[in-house]
């Protein structure tokens, strides 16, 4: 996501990290993945890995 900062008037890229359940350990660190919301699995995890988009 990119947006213009209200004070600096610069384009800024914003990211967010999610804790997602990867049952088969398919994803590696740095992979872009597709996730979908699910019922809570643990205190932090309420997302499930659908597939690995790129590595």
| Bridge partner list, 13 | 2
Tell me whether residue 6 is in a domain: no
Is position 2 within any domain?
no
pTM summary value: 0.70
The whole-number pLDDT of residue 55 equals: 64
11-49 pLDDT per residue, tens: 999 988 999 999 999 999 989 999 999 999 999 999 999
Domain count, the chain: 1
Please check whether residue 3 lies inside any domain of the structure: no
Nearest-angstrom CA–CA distance, 15 and 48 = 19
Domain extent at residue 30: 17-54
Is 48 within the bounds of a domain?
yes
State residue 39's pLDDT score. 97
Residue 8 maps to a domain = no
Assigned domain for 5 exists: no
Do the domain assignments include residue 11?
no
> Is the per-residue pLDDT at 5 higher than 80?
yes
CA distances from 42 to 5, 24, 34, 47, 50 (A): 35, 17, 19, 10, 18
Selected residue with higher pLDDT from 1 and 36: 36
């Amino acid at each position: 996501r990119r947006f213009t900062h209200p004070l600096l008037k610069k384009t800024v890229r914003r990211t967010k990290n999610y804790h997602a359940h990867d049952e088969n350990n398919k994803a590696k660190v740095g992979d872009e993945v597709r996730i979908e919301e699910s019922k809570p699995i643990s205190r932090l995890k309420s997302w499930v890995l659908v597939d690995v988009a790129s590595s």
